[in-house]
Structure 1
């Protein structure tokens, strides 16, 4: 077991930060859309906040297949780039796009046909106004799933190749447009004869932005000659079953892990629905604020995945281990500082998302709880990123079920049923979820067996 020393390596840290900061900025830009949308929904009313929050949770569950394939793409691209095989990296990207597009189209069609049944299954307990708003939003958002999968697959491949700046730039351009479109379609522009469309307007804005984002990423692959994954029409576009299988070997456990995670989030949302509209809205405010804190953690985990994957491709095992521990140290420091700020400014942060005093009061406790456990979130994400980069994703998959479902879902439900704690029960469950998984991942990373796995 490696002895953990909290002493930073400036050279390694510089490389980690160089890869991490564009990913951090990209996530900030990406989540700005969700944040602005939630703020806009808050101005429309609590029902709108609750409805869009429910839909986003459900859409996140439907997107788990894409995240699994994206993870498989990132890991394989990082490995083959480390091996010095650029052509294989480009072939990996194309095979991932083929698979993901088929799945994206199927999920979009399935969701459209059974939209009412799906929403009734998960959110039938919501009041009729919230349900109808959610249904309108859901039916429009489903249209962007095929484009979304192209978007995250290409981004994942770029990151695996060590390019985090290009995805950031594209995300920035698209999200500026997204914010503008949200404002225009939600509230209307009488001078331009554009009516106010409320929640439906937000769904249209997000869909247009997703289509544009996917289109831009594909165009950049062909016109930007400086990219490691620069495509040409002379490249090999044939289907490669063996390469697809290699991606799927990482992608399927990645999909199951995300399905377990998103399924847990979704069921927890169902539990919260029974607590009332105020609890639903407060929880959405809390997770949106925590998403802001999650940006740097996600950025460092992306940098860690790339550097560990490429080091393993080079068969430099000590280098891979060194990067994983350096990423962990930096991220824990950042998470600790962010957590303190979340606790100090919890009321101000809650007020950004809602003007309802009751919602704000409920949100403050949720935000403070997330602030306290931010360092554990750093451990959880960096250690799991190391294991995923190495191909040890089955362990992450199993422990995700153990931690999230036994603690976050069942413990929250049990505490609320037994002691009627409401949202306090949910936050207790989240605390134990983060604690258990961070310990399991850290112990697994310390064993070091992940360095010698084949993918």
Structure 2
């Protein structure tokens, strides 16, 4: 990778202060999502095994719905950021309105389908499960599916604010929503003993309040982007087409990526209980290694998108390199802590000695291999921000199918290697992405085509 050199022929769009103000709320928001998720799981466990199982079943479905929502809002972020970069704030506002209309419409449809046919849906997907588990799952699905339209408003508004560089407001909304959810769970579960409804109801109420807050923010706090009238939400085929040109490839990439993870989980399950436990624990701890990159990727969408809209190719590449180096700085600290304390971190999970030894090996190899992760997974945000989401989708699908899944089944299913080789196949996937994305970044001619 070339050393970072500031573009000399123009004023930078983002100074150091601006970058810090943009990025730190994204890091905090990512950390909050992981920590709150852990607390939520602990509270659900108090209700009982049936509730835990029912919530887990529904969450696996909800996660796919939320991934679709994420993909659509990512497309909206890119389109809004490009409009801001070009100085067309009217188009930016209209693009924000189109994003709100589109995501809310999609989530209303999905919500209605789940509310009307939730029982049938769960039976088709999961087959026959114990009666009390299914009853809790149906109750939980009813409340969470009712929250989808509000979640669409929240995520769409957050995407709009991020496109404008205002990440602090979405962080505050996320903090408030998660705190309300935790407090509500505590009151409903421990105080009123409402069972699985005590888990689901606070989620619905917290998302409703967060959506209302974000709508208020869009109508009162927006500078570059403000939703002032319902006319901004009148369907516009051109703008919706631009959003979908990024959102659809993102959805396909995300969906197939998660399907690949399910296949690998199925493969690991053939290796015995010790390997299953070790893989689960190491995967859980590895999520902390991804936090900075995921946050910086969200920031790159805004930064590079605005540079693209302003037709400043040198600055787009300059900031992409800068964020890559920043990701490496974060990883140097996090991976060192993870490696040095791996015995301690894994000890919290109370594994058997065999599982703990496997988990330590997995965590060590993963932490070392993170040296190649940023180029493989942060650079794709650059390509999405300049309108090349289809390119990242093709690369990701090929890498997942051939290397991560294909090699893993070869190593474990044919050559009978242990669980570590599942991640060696994953590292091969990363190496392939580095070669393709690195070369694509160096030879990128996007701006010469605009």
Which range, TM-score by smaller chain? Answer: 0.7 to 0.9
Question: For residues 295 and 453 of structure 1, do their structure 2 counterparts lie closer, same or farther at Cα, with a shift above 3 Å needed?
Answer: farther
TM-score (norm 2): 0.85
Deviation of 1:39 (Å): 3.9
In the alignment, which residue of structure 1 is the partner of 2:439? 443
| 1:108 paired residue among 108, 111, 124 | 111
Distance 1:239 1:421 in 2: 54
| 2:380 paired residue among 384, 395, 411 | 384
| 1:37 paired residue among 17, 34, 40 | 40
| 2:244 paired residue among 238, 248, 253 | 248
Distance 1:99 1:362 in 2: 46
TM-score (norm 1): 0.84
Distance 1:143 1:22 in 2: 28
| 1:320 paired residue among 297, 310, 316 | 316
How large is the RMSD of aligned CA atoms in angstroms?
3.5
Deviation of 1:284 (Å): 4.5
| 1:171 paired residue among 160, 170, 174 | 174
In the alignment, which residue of structure 2 is the partner of 1:373? 369
Q: Which deviates more, 400-409 or 303-312? A: 400-409
SS class of match (1:59) = helix
Number of aligned residue pairs: give it. Answer: 444
Deviation of 1:403 (Å): 1.4
SS class of match (2:224) = coil
| 2:406 paired residue among 403, 410, 413 | 410
In the alignment, which residue of structure 1 is the partner of 2:208? 211
Question: For residues 132 and 401 of structure 1, do their structure 2 counterparts lie closer, same or farther at Cα, with a shift above 3 Å needed?
Answer: farther
Question: For residues 288 and 128 of structure 1, do their structure 2 counterparts lie closer, same or farther at Cα, with a shift above 3 Å needed?
Answer: farther
In the alignment, which residue of structure 1 is the partner of 2:165? 162
Indicate whether 1:395 and 2:398 are aligned.
no
SS class of match (2:147) = helix
| Deviation sequence 1:66-90 (CA, Å, 0-9, x none) | 2221111111111110111111111
Runs of 4+ in 1 over 6 A off after TM superposition: 6-11, 42-51, 125-133
Distance 1:44 1:348 in 2: 29
In the alignment, which residue of structure 2 is the partner of 1:79? 82
Q: Which deviates more, 417-426 or 175-184? A: 417-426
Distance 1:288 1:206 in 2: 23
Q: Which has the higher contact order (CA 8 A, sep 6+)?
A: 1
The answer for unaligned runs of 5 or more in structure 2 is none
Q: How does 1:164-313 map to 2 (within 5 A)?
A: 164-186=167-189, 188-189=190-191, 194-195=192-193, 197=195, 201-224=198-221, 227-233=223-229, 236-272=232-268, 283-313=279-309
Distance 1:351 1:207 in 2: 35
Question: For residues 143 and 280 of structure 1, do their structure 2 counterparts lie closer, same or farther at Cα, with a shift above 3 Å needed?
Answer: farther
Distance 1:170 1:254 in 2: 25
Indicate whether 1:5 and 2:3 are aligned.
yes
| Deviation sequence 1:215-271 (CA, Å, 0-9, x none) | 2211221232x5332332486443222221222222222222222223323443444
Question: For residues 149 and 277 of structure 1, do their structure 2 counterparts lie closer, same or farther at Cα, with a shift above 3 Å needed?
Answer: farther
Distance 2:417 2:134 in 1: 25
Q: Which deviates more, 410-419 or 165-174? A: 410-419
